[in-house]
């Protein structure tokens, strides 16, 4: 495609399926969408001619023998110019391949090249396939920005956070919230291909896909609690038809695996599943576990760490930002660590998840520490809930102990040393502090206090973070001071936890539960201690202890506690 043309202003072709907005997006104005932003010099209604011009140029370049300008009557419904159309129809196999690749995706102009490369076709052919899909009602061309009253929203990420800059074509807008997956501006277009039934795909009766010990793909031994939670989850999704279900699991309960029967049933129905997680390390950790259990599927990873390709997959594992590439693609989305940064509180990522879900699709939210918002949705029955209150080894989650200590004077250090010495007798210690400055300060203090032990500190932007984490995992560091970087997703055998300044305003109940939840995770060392060091007790500390106690009580009621 010639890079300079302001396509976004031109291709206001909104054919195809009605553009239903996810519920989180403000309702668009009722009048038809106006393609050109008001200050842009492009005349409304001129876009068909511009598209025709573009295609004409393209065909000339490809030596199609087209001398006259292509007359584009109606880009949404009418047939393509004859020469163009013949080309498309002759290549039905390639068109079907294009559908398979682009199904459920929203492609920005700069991604067209990747599709061309994947298919081995020219820009002209690709445009032909795209237009054919639009004419068949399965796809749509859209300007990047949508005007809702006086504001503009990016269609890819739903954000109205953009920067304005002067261009050759007038004022132009660049979306600031989806830059992470490639910059988008108002001079570009977005192509969306809805889910289509590609020949060769068959749908299987849901009832034949019940969790069944004899036919299931995955090879896992579930505990009683996992079996019960997996069955409940399956029932919620297939029987109750809840669109959203919260799986509230204890820290270290094996919640990912509990979703396997559900994933299995969707895959066997030839439906598409997405496993999304907020962080790259989680994504790269989960994919091999899924691949091992679903060996007959090619499980795709999408994360910023890997170059993008368009290979279609029934089961995709992606970071939440990558989800913005999809449109109504998935029948089932499993959203791990629902309450974790950057997902929590990000309307863009929530928009992305809702947009990637098919209208009849379902979302499973996994967390050990649900947010107040999702618990409210559970209360108002907008979201179903399944509990998994016990760890796979059956021991309760350690309830944090509290130690009052202002951590200000020499005497405080003597007290702290006593506490830490008791902890270190059982294993290495993770010392959490609320800020980077405190990591640096307390690493120094603890090095001084424990001259004979190896003390290290790390935080998110620490260049040596990865190496230090590896050393800690190997048992080469005795005391590891850190911010919330190790709050989630990490299992270290025999680790003990101390949270300094546990009453700090940066710590909410969920952070405290996650930090305490690092202890006693492995089957070899199923017990451990977590100590909150505080000056004044806070609501968050009380809430954290209550959550852990409630979880343990439920596990006892289920009769599945060992400890
Ligand atoms: Zn955007």
Q: Express each pLDDT in 92-123 by its tens digit.
A: 888 999 999 999 999 988 888 899 999 998 88
Of 126-130, 242-246, 336-340, the poorest mean pLDDT is in 336-340
What is the pLDDT averaged over residues 116-143? 85
Higher-scoring residue by pLDDT: 152, 530: 530
pTM: 0.77
Spatial CA neighbour of 264 closest among 294, 299, 302? 294
DSSP secondary structure, 307-331, as one string: -------SEEEEEGGGGGGBSS-EE
Would you place residue 466 in the very low, low, confident or very high pLDDT band (cuts 50, 70, 90)?
confident
Higher-scoring residue by pLDDT: 162, 197: 162
Q: 174 C-alpha vs ligand 1 centroid, how far in Å?
A: 8
15 contacts 77 by C-beta, under 8 angstroms: yes
Q: At what angle do helices 410-424 and 436-449 cross, to 10 degrees?
A: 80
Share of the chain above pLDDT 90, in %: 36
432 contacts 482 by C-beta, under 8 angstroms: yes
Query: Rounded to an integer, what distance in angstroms lies between the CA atom of residue 5 and that of residue 297?
Result: 41
Is the pLDDT score of 307 beyond 60?
yes
Q: 445 C-alpha vs ligand 1 centroid, how far in Å?
A: 45
Find all residues with CB under 8 Å of 476, minimum gap 6, and list them.
Answer: 454
Q: 10 C-alpha vs ligand 1 centroid, how far in Å?
A: 19
So what's the pLDDT on residue 245?
Answer: 95
Is the pLDDT score of 306 beyond 80?
no
Higher-scoring residue by pLDDT: 511, 490: 511
Per-residue tokens: 529 = 């201690």
Q: 279 C-alpha vs ligand 1 centroid, how far in Å?
A: 19
Is the pLDDT score of 367 beyond 50?
yes
Angle (CA) 458 462 467, round 5°: 70
Query: Rounded to an integer, what distance in angstroms lies between the CA atom of residue 363 and that of residue 382?
Result: 12
Of 78-87, 252-261, 286-295, 313-322, the poorest mean pLDDT is in 78-87
Summary mean pLDDT of the chain: 79
So what's the pLDDT on residue 137?
Answer: 84
What is the pLDDT averaged over residues 491-499? 88
DSSP character for 22? Answer: P
DSSP character for 238? Answer: I
SS3 524: coil
Of 57-66, 232-241, 406-415, 545-554, the poorest mean pLDDT is in 57-66
Of 33-47, 196-210, 336-350, the poorest mean pLDDT is in 33-47
Q: 160 C-alpha vs ligand 1 centroid, how far in Å?
A: 8
Q: 177 C-alpha vs ligand 1 centroid, how far in Å?
A: 5
Q: 321 C-alpha vs ligand 1 centroid, how far in Å?
A: 11
CA–CA distances in Å: residue 111 to residues 1, 6, 36, 108, 447: 11, 16, 22, 5, 51
What is the pLDDT averaged over residues 28-45? 32
Beta-bridged to residue 364, according to DSSP, are 245, 334
So what's the pLDDT on residue 461?
Answer: 85
What is the pLDDT averaged over residues 211-238? 78
Q: 36 C-alpha vs ligand 1 centroid, how far in Å?
A: 17
Q: 198 C-alpha vs ligand 1 centroid, how far in Å?
A: 29
370-386: pLDDT as tens digits: 888 889 999 999 999 99
Is the pLDDT score of 48 beyond 60?
no
Pick from 51-55, 250-254, 420-424, 520-524 the range whose average pLDDT is largest. Answer: 420-424
So what's the pLDDT on residue 532?
Answer: 96
Is the pLDDT score of 285 beyond 80?
yes
So what's the pLDDT on residue 1?
Answer: 34
Sign of CA dihedral 214, 218, 224, 227: negative
Residue 479 CA to chain centroid, in angstroms? 32
Neighbours of 145 (CB within 10 A): 27
313 contacts 298 by C-beta, under 8 angstroms: yes
Q: 348 C-alpha vs ligand 1 centroid, how far in Å?
A: 8
Higher-scoring residue by pLDDT: 5, 328: 328
Residue 272 CA to chain centroid, in angstroms? 15
Q: 487 C-alpha vs ligand 1 centroid, how far in Å?
A: 30
What is the pLDDT averaged over residues 156-184? 85
Higher-scoring residue by pLDDT: 50, 259: 259
Query: Rounded to an integer, what distance in angstroms lies between the CA atom of residue 528 and that of residue 48?
Result: 68
């Amino acid at each position: 495609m010639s890079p300079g043309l302001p396509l976004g202003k031109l291709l206001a072709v909104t054919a195809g399926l009605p553009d239903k907005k996810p519920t989180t997006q403000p309702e668009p104005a009722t009048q038809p969408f106006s393609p050109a932003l008001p200050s842009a010099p492009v005349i409304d209604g001129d876009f068909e001619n511009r598209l025709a011009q573009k295609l004409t140029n393209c065909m000339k370049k490809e030596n199609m023998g087209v001398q006259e300008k292509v007359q584009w009557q109606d880009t949404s419904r009418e047939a393509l110019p004859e020469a163009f159309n013949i080309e498309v129809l002759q290549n039905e196999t390639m068109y079907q391949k294009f559908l398979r690749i682009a199904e459920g995706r929203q492609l920005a102009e700069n991604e067209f090249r990747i599709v061309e490369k994947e298919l081995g076709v020219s820009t002209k052919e690709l445009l032909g396939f795209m237009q054919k899909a639009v004419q068949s009602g399965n796809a749509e061309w859209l300007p990047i920005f949508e005007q809702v009253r006086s504001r503009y929203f990016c269609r890819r990420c739903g954000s109205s956070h953009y920067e304005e800059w002067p261009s050759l074509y007038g004022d132009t807008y660049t979306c600031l919230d989806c830059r992470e997956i490639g910059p988008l501006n108002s001079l570009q277009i977005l192509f969306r291909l809805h889910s289509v039934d590609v020949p060769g795909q068959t749908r299987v009766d849901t009832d034949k896909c019940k969790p069944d010990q004899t036919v299931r793909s995955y090879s896992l031994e579930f505990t009683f609690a996992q079996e019960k939670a997996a069955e409940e989850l399956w029932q919620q999704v297939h029987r109750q038809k809840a669109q959203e279900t919260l799986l509230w699991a204890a820290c270290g309960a094996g919640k990912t695996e509990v979703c396997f029967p559900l994933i299995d049933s969707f895959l066997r129905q030839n439906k598409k599943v997405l496993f999304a997680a907020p962080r790259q390390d989680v994504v790269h950790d989960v994919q091999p576990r899924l691949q091992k259990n679903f060996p007959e599927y090619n499980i795709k990873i999408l994360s910023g760490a890997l170059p993008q390709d368009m290979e279609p997959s029934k089961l995709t594992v992606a970071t939440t930002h990558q989800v913005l590439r999809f449109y109504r693609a998935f029948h089932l989305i499993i959203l791990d660590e629902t309450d974790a940064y950057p997902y929590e509180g990000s309307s863009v990522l929530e928009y992305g998840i809702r947009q990637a879900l098919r209208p009849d699709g379902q979302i499973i939210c996994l967390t050990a520490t649900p947010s107040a918002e999702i618990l409210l949705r559970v209360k108002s029955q907008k979201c179903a809930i399944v509990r998994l209150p016990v760890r796979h080894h059956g021991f309760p989650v350690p309830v944090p102990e509290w130690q009052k200590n202002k951590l200000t004077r020499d005497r405080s250090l003597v007290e702290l040393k006593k506490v830490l010495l008791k902890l270190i007798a059982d294993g290495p210690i993770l010392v959490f502090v609320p800020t980077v400055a405190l990591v640096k300060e307390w690493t120094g203090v603890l090095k001084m206090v424990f001259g004979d032990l190896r003390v290290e500190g790390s935080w998110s932007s620490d260049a040596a973070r990865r190496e230090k984490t590896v050393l800690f995992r190997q048992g080469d560091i005795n005391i590891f001071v850190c911010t919330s970087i190790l709050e989630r997703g990490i299992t270290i055998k025999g680790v003990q936890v101390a949270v300094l300044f546990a009453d700090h305003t940066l710590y909410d109940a969920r952070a405290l539960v996650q930090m305490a939840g690092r202890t006693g995770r492995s089957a070899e060392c199923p017990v451990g201690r977590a100590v909150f060091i505080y000056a004044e007790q806070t609501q968050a500390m009380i809430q954290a202890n209550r959550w852990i106690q409630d979880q343990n009580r439920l596990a006892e009621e289920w009769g599945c506690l060992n400890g």
